[in-house]
Amino acid sequence: MTEKHSTQFERGTDGPKVIVVGVDGSDTSLRAAAYASGMARRQHALLAVVYVQPVLAAGAALGAPVAEATDEIAEDLVRQVREASEQVRGVFDFRWEFHTFRGDPYNGMVKAADDLKADAVVVGASEQAGHRFVGSVAVRLVKAGRWPVTVMP
């Protein structure tokens, strides 16, 4: 008796080639970035660091310089990532890029993962208590079931 095997082919890799990590400056997101950096280094993958700039219409309506504040956060995150990568340069080299998207964090991460053709997504667990009831970005990404998602505590 002969067995029939599927002729469906894999993408041609033994591991992720693009790892997307969401950062927002929180402790859990910075731990996620550190973990994803190690993954990228070990897998020889591209690390795409993503910051989703929130659109806060209510703050803008009150005259708050919301766009400037989120731009400053993005610039600070880039600085932190650059400093961290410079500290390990020569010891741990890996490729990384920084991307910003505007919108709500969940849809921004989905767009980033889709646009960058992510093989894996890494995010930090939410530090907000209300997310136990509503659902965090991490939980929503896992439930989407489109990529392997690692959630860092």
List the pLDDT tens digit at each of the 153 positions of the chain: 555 554 554 555 567 799 999 988 888 888 898 899 889 988 999 999 998 887 765 545 555 555 566 677 777 777 776 676 565 555 556 788 888 888 888 999 999 999 999 999 999 988 765 444 446 888 899 999 899 999 998
Q: What is the dihedral of CA 130, 135, 138, 144, to 10 degrees?
A: -170
What sign has the CA pseudo-torsion 132, 127, 41, 99? Answer: positive
In 1-153, which ranges are continuous DSSP H helix? 27-43, 57-61, 66-88, 105-115, 131-134, 137-144
Q: Which two structure tokens, joined as six digits, stand for 78? A: 């880039």
What sign has the CA pseudo-torsion 98, 100, 105, 107? Answer: negative
DSSP classification of residue 55: -
Q: Which residue reads 């400093």 in tokens?
A: 83
